[in-house]
Amino acid sequence: MPISFEEQRRRLVERLLREGYIRSEKVLKAMLRVPRELFVPEELRHLAYEDTPLPIGHGQTISAPHMVALMCEYADLDIGMKVLEVGTGSGYHAAVIAEIVAPSDMPREKWGHVYSVERIPELAEKAKENLRRAGYADRVTVIVGDGTKGYPEKAPYDRIIVTAAAPDIPEPLVEQLKPGGKMVIPIGDRYSQVLYIVEKRPDGSIKVKPTIPVLFVPLIGEHGWRPHEY
């Protein structure tokens, strides 16, 4: 008998816990709840619980589950937070963030919200559809645009998570972070990047902490890479 998606998800999450990518109860619960099979292309569904990035079209990828879990841990998310994600892609990471800041078993009054910006309109459309099917449409707002400029309409944010690699920390994102807020962002060139945790102290000064080497697709935009540079 084939193993159900639910069982595959449980086994993957157990592995991520053993390997130290999942460290908290809230990330554990969210990773167990969000059905990754609804965010990968139909023909790749059998690979949904492999711990690997997968192509989603337009030269882009859905991040590997261990990276989604680790970025959520580094971001130190909590119930009720307002989060900006730059790089919606499939919508999967946004759904995991939403499940932490607005858990399915929590009254709506306590829910936070995720604003997620994607530069490729076709991916944004597909992500909206994925999020709707998975039950996250009312907790995640997908916006088409250049996320290197942030999303000033709903700023400031408690947390910002960037899922594409920038040459430097985009200034508008620092501006749109609340004092006391945190941003997780990969910085570097095509082959060599480091995941940073950027903290905005209550006095507005910035503390930047490098974590691990990573490999993301480029963040393309006014405060990121220009298409011809990459």
Backbone angles phi, psi at 156, to 5 degrees: -85, 160
- Smallest separation, CB 183 to ligand SAM (Å): 15
Closest CA to 157 of 75, 89, 220: 75
- Kindly state whether residue 90 participates in binding ligand SAM, applying the rule CB under 6 A: yes
Residue 61 or 104: the one with the smaller Cβ distance to ligand SAM is 61
Residue 109 or 165: the one with the smaller Cβ distance to ligand SAM is 165
Q: How far from 81 is each of 123, 142, 159, CA to CA, in Å?
A: 25, 17, 7
Q: Which residue has the tokens 């920390």?
A: 169
Single out the catalytic residue among 24, 63, 116, 192. Answer: 63
- Kindly state whether residue 87 participates in binding ligand SAM, applying the rule CB under 6 A: yes
Residue 115 or 200: the one with the smaller Cβ distance to ligand SAM is 115
- Kindly state whether residue 217 participates in binding ligand SAM, applying the rule CB under 6 A: yes
Core vs surface per residue 34-68: b (16+ CB within 10 A) or e:
bbbbbbbeeeeeeebbeeebbebeeebbbbbbbbb
- Smallest separation, CB 118 to ligand SAM (Å): 5
Backbone angles phi, psi at 62, to 5 degrees: -90, 130
Total residues contacting ligand SAM by CB under 6 A comes to: 26
Instruction: Report the site for ligand SAM in 23-82 (rule: CB under 6 A).
Output: 60-63
Q: Which residue has the tokens 């807020």?
A: 181
- Kindly state whether residue 170 participates in binding ligand SAM, applying the rule CB under 6 A: no
- Please tell me the distance from the alpha carbon of residue 88 to that of residue 43, in angstroms, as a whole number: 20
Interaction pattern, residues 146-165, with ligand SAM; x per rule: CB under 6 A: xxx--------------xx-
- Binding site residues, ligand SAM, CB under 6 A: 60-63, 86-87, 89-90, 92-93, 117-120, 123, 146-148, 163-164, 216-217, 219-221, 224
